Amino acid sequence: MSFQLFKILNIIGTIKGITYYRLNGKYVKRKSSPPSREKIMFDPRFTTVKANVTEFAAANMLAKSIYTGLQENLKIFKDSYFTSRLTGSCRKIIQMGRGTKGQREANVFNLPDALIGFQLHKKQIFNQIYWANKSVLVNNDRSNITINIKKSSPLHLSKCPKSATHFVLTAVISTVSTHTWIPKIKKYQTAYPAANALGKTIQTPALLCKLEHQDISLELNMPTTKPIPPNVAITVWLGIQYGKEIDNIFTPFVAGKAMECIAIV
């Protein structure tokens, strides 16, 4: 449709990125463009947008801390939308923080349920693949975390591939510090960088699928000798991989695997 026809029809509005309007009695058009970063950050009309932008940046920082600690497990278990899904969960955590919008505290302890049950792969649900009862024990200074499974039987191995002979459980911890808004620099910063984004992984030996296993214990020690500050959360993850063991070498299958966050301590 030509500009002349838009003019005759007296169309006012935006169509396909072009805005049509009247200015000083004349009918004009201009290409719509998003506001610049400078306008968002300093123009009072964009206060709400600015608040959303800064808190989204903080959510990215929280998510990065978590997935940095997860280390090589991401390559094994995650889906292609993992990062955006995790950032979305971290955004919910920030919305529960203290302070004004755009400067609210980013602290996982404000909404731990946003992460508990989070799947590294959205369509591979851990407790639908392996549903043995588990408990998480933590010592007083949180330097030692143990996942205990009192009994694991073949009945707990849901969706076990027919050709699988063994399975391996993987336990992971990943730390995430509170992130706070610093007015002087107008940015969020990690409150405890030395204790942030630390990770540790441990696995069981390959366990026979057809047998019952008693008292499985996965013990994780923090990868630092320094005390963990109270405002640093430790995310605890548990995963499973099915596969085959031949000549004492376990080869995991591409399918039949999952990992989820089971606790925040």
**One domain for residues 2 and 70:** no
Residue 34 has pLDDT above 90, yes or no: no
Share of the chain above pLDDT 70, in %: 82
> Measuring CA to CA, which residue among 200, 73, 76, 97 is closest to residue 146?
200
Q: What token pair was written down for 16? A: 């396909």
Same domain, 198 and 87: yes
- Give residue-wise pLDDT tens across range 202-244: 999 999 999 999 999 999 999 999 999 999 999 999 999 999 9
Same domain (yes/no): 44, 173? yes
56/23 same-domain check: no
Identify the domain containing residue 9 by its residue range: 1-33
Four-CA torsion 47, 53, 57, 60, nearest 10 degrees: 140
Same domain? 11 vs 121: no
CB of 168 closer than 8 Å to CB of 250: yes
State whether 47 and 14 are in the same domain.
no
Residue 61 shares a structural domain with residue 186: yes
Q: Are residues 25 and 111 in the same domain?
A: no
Residues 79 and 25 in one domain: no
**pTM score, whole prediction:** 0.83
Q: How far apart are CA 92 and CA 84, in angstroms?
A: 13
Residue-wise pLDDT for 38-94, tens only, equals 544 555 554 566 677 889 999 999 999 999 999 999 999 999 999 999 999 999 999
Residues 8 and 111 in one domain: no
| Total domains present in the chain | 2
On whether both 186 and 76 belong to a single domain, the answer is: yes
Same domain, 256 and 202: yes
